Amino acid sequence: MSFENFGLIPELLKAVKAQGYEEPTPIQNIAIPAIFEGRNILASAQTGTGKTAAFALPLLQILSKNPSLKKRRRPRLLILVPTRELADQVGKNIQAFGRLLSLRSTVIYGGVKVDPQIDKLKRGVDIIVATPGRLLDHAYNYTVDLSRVEFLVFDEADRMLDMGFIENIAEMLDYLPPERQNLMFSATYPKAIKELADSVIENPLHIEVSKLNTTASDIRQFIHPVERDRKRALLYNLIIDERWNQVLVFTRTRKKADKLAKQLKSDGINTAALHSEKTQSIRTKILEDFKKGKIRALIATDVAARGLDINDLPYVVNFDLPDVPEYYVHRIGRTGRAGLNGIAISFVCRDDADNLTKIQEFIKQKISVKKIEGFDMERIKKKPSKKISSSKSKIENKTKGKGKKVKKIEKGKPKEVQKKSVWS
């Protein structure tokens, strides 16, 4: 199968070739013909499998063949995404694929000035890529007219639910015409997604190009057991000794991301932190520098787990395991994209046992353990202290002469250490 077989117009075929696509991915093979047929779609596909092109190419062709007859264009395609980064990524892909078409698109999200967005909307656009919150603000203030939307796309729908956008989405639907083609794409498929789909999408075509809740086969996953206070040293060791030139590192909090970035900088590694407290202009600059190789290590919170599209990103490190198993799939999905190989490493300490178990149950596989010499967690050999000996004497004295057998207190490892570890 080639892109020519879909009946794409020459302008789109040229754009596809310019983007380096040689043949369609599995999700594209199924979704593109179905969208041309006017089908509603509920698709589950791993991140990095070409979902954006799967909906962008057919919808761009449909819009270009049926241009708006009104002088002032109103949005006909609305793409909802969870984060600013993903909005920028999808917006750039739309522009790249439609560069030879007479279509106008814009990207709308919060954290930036609203006036430039209003100006673009006044001039008229065919396509809007937006986060739900900021777009709803425009709807409240009558700066956008969504009454002519013909196509609604939910991209990374599960993440929108995780981020609490469900109420915004419900309100947004009131501004849209009831007759439209609905497409929902998601890397995971929890129960909440099915409930949303049932309320929004009528008779959808279900597409599943891989097993649900699984990670891409092109990603090699490893666990490095390490004491919590030695994680930074291990990360530095890997970057230097393994000669990593580009690595994306995930931490649980913004504070830790800033702290780790500052520490690695002091160690001589060009590092930057990326999280929601930074302004959009700074976040955009950091991402561009990271893509160009000016930044060696990017320390990020889960705000970057979606929407980062970096060609041939070789390494992803979970400095902290995520609390939500789904986030693990999205994080490591930043590597091993578009058929390329990648490596995902997770630093796991003693109190990560529960999170690790949940993640492995969620992805339905056991992650390989790779111990790093000098950093592996050692078994604690706890010698009996004076306090324990004293307690033993008291017990023996208390029961002496009463015919009770005193249970011998074992010396050595504490019980919790004697148990087999989940990452053993």
Residue 47 pLDDT: 64
Rounded to the nearest integer, the mean pLDDT of the chain is: 83
Residue 13 pLDDT: 95
At residue 315 the predicted structure's pLDDT band, cuts being 50, 70 and 90, is very high
Strand, helix or coil at 388?
helix
Going by C-alpha positions, the residue among 174, 173, 75 that lies closest to residue 125 is 75
Residue 405 pLDDT: 45
Q: Do domains 3-208 and 219-369 have the same CATH topology?
A: yes
pLDDT digits (tens, 9 = 90+) for 33-44: 999 999 999 998
Give the integer Cα–Cα distance in Å for 242 and 245: 9
Strand, helix or coil at 245?
coil
At residue 417 the predicted structure's pLDDT band, cuts being 50, 70 and 90, is very low
Q: Which residue has the higher pLDDT, 329 or 344?
A: 344
Which of the listed ranges 63-72, 209-218, 269-278 does the model predict with the highest average pLDDT?
A: 269-278
Q: For residue 411, what are the CA distances in angstroms to 154, 385, 392, 396?
A: 59, 10, 12, 16
Angle between helices 10-18 and 51-65 (to 10 degrees): 150
Give the integer Cα–Cα distance in Å for 133 and 157: 14
Give the integer Cα–Cα distance in Å for 356 and 349: 10
Residue 411 pLDDT: 42
Strand, helix or coil at 19?
coil
Tokens of 370: 């790779």
Give the integer Cα–Cα distance in Å for 349 and 2: 47
Going by C-alpha positions, the residue among 187, 220, 222, 424 that lies closest to residue 318 is 222
Q: Hey, what CATH topology would domain 3-208 get?
A: Rossmann fold (3.40.50)
Residue 106 has pLDDT above 90, yes or no: yes
At residue 48 the predicted structure's pLDDT band, cuts being 50, 70 and 90, is low
Residue 187 has pLDDT above 80, yes or no: no
CB 261 within 8 Å of CB 287: no
Question: Containing H/E element for 353?
Answer: helix 353-363
Give the integer Cα–Cα distance in Å for 24 and 11: 17
What's the pTM?
Answer: 0.65
Q: What percent of the chain has pLDDT over 70?
A: 82
Question: What is the domain class of 219-369 according to CATH?
Answer: alpha beta
CB 254 within 8 Å of CB 276: yes
Residue ranges per domain, the chain?
Answer: 3-208, 219-369, 386-418
Task: Please count the residues of the chain.
Answer: 424
Question: Is beta strand 77-80 parallel, antiparallel or unpaired with respect to 127-130?
Answer: parallel
CB 70 within 8 Å of CB 147: no
